[in-house]
Structure 1
C-alpha cells in the first residue's frame, strides 16, 4: 500500500511538471487536423501602449486552397468592455461572420486569408481612432499605414464627391480594405500581424478568434480540417499580465497574510483550551496554513508571469500541489464536521465512509481539471472539455456534502413523532442547521454571485472576483472556527451521545439554538477522561 501511494504521488508530480510548460502569456498553440468552425485563441485586457504580436508560422488545409473562398478562413479581433458582453460574434451564430462587416460603432477587425492571391485582407468596422491600426508585424513596421496597398471597396472611377456621398449612404459596407503579403511554401502558409493600443479610447478587452467557415459555405464539399502553429505575445506597458490580472500578485500576498494570522489565532485558541480540544480541531488548524501557502506560491507564479511572460516551473508545481491539498482538505474538513466526527462520535459509519469515498475522488478530479485549465491554451480542444468537467465535478462535490444531510433531516422529522431517540437526534440535527446554511451561502457566493460580478465589471476590475472569493473563504474559515471553537460553554460541543458506535449517518447533525432544552445532564466525550456536566434547560 505504501508503495502504491509513493507511485501515485510520483505520477502526480510528473504530471504537474509536464503540463506547466504552456502556462504563460507567451502563447504557443499547435492544432492538428482540427475541424472546429471557431477557435478562441486568446482574451487579453490592454491598457494604453500595450501591444499584441501574432505569428502564424504555419497553416495547412486538407483541401486544395485554390478551392477555398477568400472570405472563408481568417481571424477576427474584437474589443469588449467586460467578459460578459460580445459586440460582434454572438450576433448571428448561423452566419459566417467573415462575410459580414458590422456597423461602424463596433470595434472589430477581420483578417481574411486569400489563398488565390497570397494576401491577407484587413477589414475594419470602426473609425481608425477607435480601433488600433493593425500592421503586418515586425517585418513591416516601417510600412504600417498608407504604404500597405489600400483597396477601398468603393469603385475607382467614382469622384471624390461621389465617394463622400457613398460613405454617407452606405456606412455599413463602405470601409476600406488593406492587404498584407501571405507567405506560401509548398502549401504551408505563414503570416504575422501586430497592433499597438495607442490611445485611451482603444483600451479594452480584446478577443482573438480563428474562423473556419468552409463547412457553412460549402456543405457539399465536405468538412475542411486545418493544422496551425501559432505564437501570440501580449503585453501591457509594465506587465505581461492582462489589465484585470495586474493587481493579483499583491492581492494574493496580502490575503495569504490574513489566512496565516487567522491560523495563528486558531492555534493560540487550541493551546489555551487544551482540555476541550478534539482531533478535528487540529485538522481545522492545518487548513488556513495550507491556504496561506497556496496563495504565496500563486503570487510568486503570477509575479514571474508578469515580469517575463512565463512562470518558473518549480514554483508553479509547488503552487499546484498546495492548491490540490487545500481543496481536498477543505471538503474533507467540512464533511467531517457535518457528519459530527469527533464532536458527536469518534468513528465513521458506513454511510459516512461512502460520502468520503465520493467526495475525495471528486475533489481530486476537480483540482486536476483546474490545473489542466490553468496550464492549457484556450484554443486547444482539451481546454473546453476540462472546463466543463471542472464545473460539473465542482457541483457534484458540493452536492455530495449537502444532500445526505437533507435526507437525514427528512428521515428524522418523519420518525421523531413516534421515536423518542429520533426526537433527540432531531434536536441535535437542528443544532448544526445554521452551519449548513452558511455552507450553502458560501458555495453559492463563490460559484455563482462572484462569477456574475466577474462578468459584469469592466475589464480592468476583473481582479475583484478573486478578492471577493478570497474574502468569502476567509469569512467562512473564521465563522467555522468561531462556531466550533474549543470551550466548555460552547453549545456545539455539548451534545448528548449514546452508543457512538451504533450511530448512523441519519443520526449525525447540523445547527440551531436552544438544543439543550429539556436536557438535565449531558455527557461530554473529550480526549481526556469522561466528565459530567449539568446544564439547565
Structure 2
C-alpha cells in the first residue's frame, strides 16, 4: 500500500486519541449545561418507563435574561411527553387551543418555574430567581417512551441552567433500580451472547488457518483481526450497558467501546475494499485507484466515528444535534457506496480477461464469486442501514432491542459468508478448477454476456 507502516500506525493512534478526547457519556444519569438558550422547546433525553418509573430532576444555576422584572414564570418548566402526545400538542398550539405546551393536559408536568421564589433584579439586567436551584422527583405510573422536555413560552427570553436528570425503573419485588430503558434492558445479555458467538467464530477461523497454513494469504489473517475487533467491541458494549443498568454510569467502558468501535469500523470497510480489489487473492499489490478508495474510505470512517461520539455525547438538546446526525448519515452512506467500486472494477476486469487471455473458465469462476459478493454487500448495506432503521421506527418501545438483534445477526451472517467464500482452501473453485469444470464454465461464458451491472 502507499501508506508506510509507521505512518499508518501513527494515523490510527491519532484517530484513537481524537475519539478518546471526547468526554465520556453520563449514560442514563446525565448532566447538561444550557447556556443562554432562547429556544421555545429544548428536548433532553428519551427513556422507556414501566409502571414504576422514576425521574429525578435537579436544576441549578438558573439564570433568565430579560430587562423587565414582570415575568410569568409559569411559562417556563419541564415536562414529559410521548411522541404521539407531542403531535397532538403541536396541533393544539396551531389551533390556538393553548399558548404554551405546559398548558396541555396531554403532557406530564414535572416542574414549572412559578414554584420558585419571585425574581430579584440585579444591575446587570439579569432576572434571577432568589431560589436559583430546585430538585424534583416525579413518579411515572403510565408505561411508555417519554422524552424530558424544557418549555420556554416567553419570547426573546434566554435561559441558562445546569440540568441533572436520572431516569430509571424500580423493580417492585426487589426495589432495585434499572437505569436502562425498558426496551434496552436485554442488551447486556444480548451483547454478551454475540461476543461468545464471535469468539467462537474467531477460534474456528484460527483452527482453519492452522490447518490450511500453506493456502492462507495475508488477507486471511486480516479477516481474523476484524473478527477479534468485533468480538472485543461487543464485550465492551456488554460491560458498558451492564454498568449503566446497575449504576447509571458507564465507568469508562464507553471509552473502550468507542475505541474498538472505531477500529472495527475502519477494518471492516478496509477488508471489503481489499477483497473487492482482489488484493492478496489475485495479486499482491493495489492499483492507484484502489489506493485512492482506501484513502477516501478510511478518513471518512474516522469522521463518521467522531460524529457518532459527538451525537452520543451531546444528546438532542444540543443545537447542532440534527446537523451532526445528518453528517454522520451522509458520511456513512458515502463509505458504503465507495466500497462497492472496487468490486465493480474487479468484475469488469474479470469479464474482459475472460474474453482475451484464454483462461475463460478460471476467470468466469472468479467473476461468479465476485458477483455473489457484490450482491451480498449490497444486501448487507441495505439491511443494516434501511431495514434496521425501519424496525426502530415501527417497533414498540418495549422491543427496541429487536432492531439491534436484527442488525447484529445480519452482520454475523455477512462475516460468515465472507469467511466461507474466501476461505484458505487449496481446492477452492475460486483458485483451481479441473478440466470438466473448465469446459462447463466455457459454455456458461456464452450466457454470462447477458449479465449487466
TM tier relative to shorter chain: 0.7 to 0.9
Structure 2 segments unaligned to the other structure (5+ residues): 122-126, 171-176, 444-453
Matching residue of 1:347: 285
* Residue 396 of structure 1: how far off its partner (Å): 0.7
Distance 1:440 1:416 in 2: 25
Map 1:106-505 onto structure 2 (within 5 A): 107-110=106-109, 113=112, 119=114, 180-182=115-117, 184=119, 187-189=127-129, 190-198=133-141, 202-215=142-155, 223-237=156-170, 238-313=177-252, 315-406=253-344, 420=356, 427=364, 428-494=366-432
Matching residue of 2:174: none
Q: Describe the superposition over 1:385-413 as per-residue Cα deviations: whole angstroms up to 9, x where unpaired.
A: 32222111110100111145446767987
Shift in CA distance, 228/421, structure 1 to aligned 2, threshold 3 Å: farther
Distance 2:278 2:353 in 1: 20
Tell me, yes or no, if the aligned pair for 1:31 and 1:227 is still in contact at 8 Å: yes
Q: TM-score, normalised by structure 1?
A: 0.70
Tell me, yes or no, if the aligned pair for 1:23 and 1:376 is still in contact at 8 Å: no
Aligned residues: 422
Q: Describe the superposition over 1:294-331 as per-residue Cα deviations: whole angstroms up to 9, x where unpaired.
A: 11111111111111111112x33222211111111110
* Residue 469 of structure 1: how far off its partner (Å): 1.4
Q: Describe the superposition over 1:470-517 as per-residue Cα deviations: whole angstroms up to 9, x where unpaired.
A: 11111110111111112233222349xxxxxxxxxxxxxxxxx99972
Shift in CA distance, 103/210, structure 1 to aligned 2, threshold 3 Å: closer
Q: Describe the superposition over 1:409-463 as per-residue Cα deviations: whole angstroms up to 9, x where unpaired.
A: 67987x799x735995984444311111111111111111112111211112111
* Residue 17 of structure 1: how far off its partner (Å): 4.7
Name which one, 1 or 2, has greater alpha-carbon Rg. Answer: 1
Distance 1:342 1:253 in 2: 33
Distance 2:377 2:266 in 1: 16
Partner SS, residue 19 of structure 1: coil
Q: Which moved more, 1:85-94 or 1:323-332?
A: 85-94
Tell me, yes or no, if the aligned pair for 1:78 and 1:87 is still in contact at 8 Å: no
Shift in CA distance, 103/423, structure 1 to aligned 2, threshold 3 Å: farther
Q: Describe the superposition over 1:240-289 as per-residue Cα deviations: whole angstroms up to 9, x where unpaired.
A: 11111111111111100001111111121222222221111111111111
Distance 1:111 1:99 in 2: 18
Partner SS, residue 431 of structure 1: helix
Tell me, yes or no, if the aligned pair for 2:93 and 2:100 is still in contact at 8 Å: no
Partner SS, residue 257 of structure 2: helix
Tell me, yes or no, if the aligned pair for 2:78 and 2:111 is still in contact at 8 Å: yes
Tell me, yes or no, if the aligned pair for 1:47 and 1:236 is still in contact at 8 Å: yes
Matching residue of 1:31: 34
Shift in CA distance, 516/261, structure 1 to aligned 2, threshold 3 Å: farther
Shift in CA distance, 423/194, structure 1 to aligned 2, threshold 3 Å: farther
Distance 2:353 2:255 in 1: 52
Higher helix share: 2
Shift in CA distance, 282/207, structure 1 to aligned 2, threshold 3 Å: same
Partner SS, residue 28 of structure 1: strand
Partner SS, residue 39 of structure 1: strand
Distance 1:296 1:52 in 2: 29
Shift in CA distance, 102/67, structure 1 to aligned 2, threshold 3 Å: closer
Partner SS, residue 22 of structure 1: coil
Structure 1 segments unaligned to the other structure (5+ residues): 120-179, 216-222, 496-512, 520-537
Matching residue of 1:517: 441
The RMSD of aligned alpha carbons is 3.5
Tell me, yes or no, if the aligned pair for 2:25 and 2:250 is still in contact at 8 Å: no
* Residue 233 of structure 1: how far off its partner (Å): 1.2
Distance 2:278 2:8 in 1: 28
Matching residue of 1:173: none
Distance 2:108 2:269 in 1: 46
* Residue 354 of structure 1: how far off its partner (Å): 0.5
Distance 1:103 1:514 in 2: 78
Shift in CA distance, 101/273, structure 1 to aligned 2, threshold 3 Å: closer
